[in-house]
């Protein structure tokens, strides 16, 4: 399966101080994508990262229902918990939910995910609206920090071997 | 505030972004910068102070007109952070691609078996 064409890579824009928009095309009908995004048995199969495994995936998929994901970072034996509630569900085209990084209280942001299908392919658009610019920027920086730590750890290892 | 927050804050204003775009063409005096905006000099000076504080603009000390200059280094750092964040999502979406393909193969197989 090819994933190299340019229209398949995620784009990220910041239309205002406290917004972030992530767009990505998928080679699947939107009903299938909708299920892959909202059913825990599916989410568990893809949501982790090379450096983070999804340890907890709870989804009470109804308006007012809660969700909670816990990502585990084995390298630092640290856990990162994210949770929120579903505000609006329009199967298979739209999900509005709140989301927060539990380590930062009152940092809730609202995520509106829409799925547009065309010729069997689906465009996913996630629109994130934060309370404050600082929260958005913090979210962007969080991933980098993790990556930076990994880089420094590798550098440490390398130096240990060389010295 | 850390350097990156300063950069993002400085970029969060359309006038400041326009000033940076102007300075990307070459250095300019405060008067030259103020001209296209129809803004009072103190307002432009206030924006310049924010940009200078973020390390995006430097102002000559000796020349009579003290021209302003763009320093793009902090912009590069900010772009790298955003790219890293994007790359994390790209990795996750890449896994979702693989999983969706797997689901569709299973679905097709079930349909074929039923025929």
Interchain contact B36–A (C-beta under 8 A): no
The whole-angstrom separation of Cα A127 and Cα A129 is 7
Q: Please give the average per-residue pLDDT across B16-21, as a whole number.
A: 87
Does the beta-carbon distance from A24 to B84 stay under 8 Å?
no
What digits encode the pLDDT tens for the residues A36-60?
A: 999 999 999 999 888 889 999 999 9
Which pLDDT score is estimated for A143?
58
Rg of chain A over Cα atoms, rounded to whole angstroms, equals 17
Chain B CB contacts of A24 under 8 Å are 89, 93
Which pLDDT score is estimated for A70?
95
| B93 shares a domain with B63 | no
Residue B28 is part of a domain; what is its CATH number? Answer: 1.10.10.10
Residue of A nearest to B104 (CA): A28
What is the total count of domains within chain A?
Answer: 1
| B18 shares a domain with B67 | yes
Does the beta-carbon distance from B99 to A42 stay under 8 Å?
yes
In this complex, the residue of A9, A134, A140 whose CB is nearest that of residue B82 is A140
What is the total count of domains within chain B?
Answer: 2
Q: Mutate which of A25, A28, A50 to test chain B, going by most B C-beta atoms within 10 A?
A: A28
Domain that residue A91 falls in? 7-162
Q: Is residue A117 part of a domain?
A: yes
| B103 shares a domain with B63 | no
Which pLDDT score is estimated for A85?
98
Domain that residue B107 falls in? 73-115
Q: Is residue A97 part of a domain?
A: yes
Q: Is residue A51 part of a domain?
A: yes
CA atoms within 13 A on the CB side of B98: 8
Interchain contact B15–A (C-beta under 8 A): no
In this complex, the residue of B81, B84, B97 whose CB is nearest that of residue A27 is B97
Query: How sure is the predictor about A1, in pLDDT bands with cuts at 50, 70 and 90?
Result: very low
Instruction: Tell me: pLDDT of A162 over 90.
Output: no
| B84 shares a domain with B28 | no
Among A130-139, B76-85, B94-103, the range with the most confident prediction by mean pLDDT is B94-103
What digits encode the pLDDT tens for the residues A81-128?
A: 999 999 999 999 999 999 998 888 888 999 999 999 999 899 999 999
Under 8 Å between Cβ of A152 and A138: no
Q: Is residue A2 part of a domain?
A: no
In this complex, the residue of A17, A26, A140 whose CB is nearest that of residue B81 is A140
As beta bridge partners, residue B14 has none
The whole-angstrom separation of Cα A150 and Cα B70 is 32
Q: Is residue A141 part of a domain?
A: yes
Residue of A nearest to B102 (CA): A1
| B38 shares a domain with B16 | yes
CA B46, B73, B47: angle at the middle one, nearest 5?
10
- Residue of higher predicted confidence among B14 and A55: A55
Q: Is residue A100 part of a domain?
A: yes
Which pLDDT score is estimated for B107?
87
Chain A CB contacts of B50 under 8 Å are none
Chain B CB contacts of A47 under 8 Å are 92, 95
3-state secondary structure chain A: CCCCCHHHCCEEECCCCCEEEEEEEECCCHHHHHHHHHCHHHHHHHCCECCEEEEEEEECCCCCCEEEEEEEECCCCEEEEEEEEEEEEECCCEEEEEEEECCCCCCCEEEEEEEEEECCEEEEEEEEEECCHHHHHHHHHHHHHHHHHHHHHHHHHHHHHHC
| B58 shares a domain with B44 | yes
Residue A132 is part of a domain; what is its CATH number? Answer: 3.30.530.20
| B39 shares a domain with B89 | no
| B67 shares a domain with B89 | no
Average pLDDT, chain A: 84
């Amino acid at each position: 399966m090819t994933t190299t064409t340019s229209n398949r890579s995620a784009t990220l824009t910041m239309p205002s101080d406290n917004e972030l928009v992530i767009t990505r095309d998928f080679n699947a009908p939107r009903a299938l994508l909708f299920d892959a995004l909202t059913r825990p048995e599916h989410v568990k199969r893809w949501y982790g990262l090379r450096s983070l495994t999804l340890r907890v995936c709870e989804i009470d998929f109804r308006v007012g229902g809660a969700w909670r994901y816990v990502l585990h970072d084995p390298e630092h034996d640290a856990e990162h918990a994210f949770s929120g509630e579903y505000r609006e569900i329009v199967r298979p085209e739209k999900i509005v939910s709140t989301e927060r990084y539990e380590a930062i209280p009152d940092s809730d942001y609202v995520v509106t995910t829409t799925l547009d299908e065309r010729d069997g392919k689906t465009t996913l658009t996630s629109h994130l609206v934060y309370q404050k610019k600082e929260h958005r920027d913090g979210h962007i920086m969080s991933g980098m920090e993790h990556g930076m730590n990994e880089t420094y750890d590798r550098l440490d290892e390398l130096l240990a071997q060389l010295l | 505030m850390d350097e990156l927050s300063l950069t993002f804050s400085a970029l969060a204003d359309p006038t400041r972004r326009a000033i940076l775009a102007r300075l990307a063409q070459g250095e300019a005096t405060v008067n030259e910068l103020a001209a296209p905006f129809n803004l009072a000099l103190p307002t432009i000076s206030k924006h310049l102070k924010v940009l200078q504080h973020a390390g995006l603009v430097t102002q000559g000390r000796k020349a009579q007109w003290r021209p302003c200059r763009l320093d793009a280094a902090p912009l590069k750092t900010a772009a790298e952070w955003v790219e890293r964040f994007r790359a994390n999502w790209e990795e996750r979406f890449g896994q979702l691609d693989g999983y969706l393909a797997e689901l569709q193969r299973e679905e097709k197989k079930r349909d074929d078996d039923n025929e």
